[in-house]
Structure 1
């Protein structure tokens, strides 16, 4: 199943301020998320069986991306992008 990717305006502004290399990595991740979110991310916290909403993370070179996958709304939403070294 292919999900709709949602990147809120505040996160879009954050992405625009990142170095070009980080932006390229994020774009590559975002290209894959709608169809492969479960396969390319890891569980974030406790997974509740049969829950229609799951929180997941993806680790990139310098960034960690937190997303939610919502089976009811068929969406993948970027919740937060952070640099653990910042």
Structure 2
């Protein structure tokens, strides 16, 4: 499953400085993302590199993904989803 995480322009500018493979920086950054960044859109079928990071998604305790960063979106591929509500 590949999804796009919609990110506001102010957050995009902050993300632009992170290399995709810099997992520690990305993990710390995603953990600080405000709620408005935690919106998942429909799958787009985009390929992503193998750079697993962990990232919070609203309604899920943890989502393990691979990440591709471009100018307007973060594309994530779902590896594992932990749902604290068991839904």
TM bin (shorter chain)? 0.3 to 0.5
Question: Which of structures 1 and 2 has the bigger CA Rg?
Answer: 1
More helix by share: 1
More strand by share: 2
TM-score, structure 2 normalization: 0.33
TM-score, structure 1 normalization: 0.33
Structure possessing the higher relative contact order (Cα contacts under 8 Å, 6 or more residues apart): 2
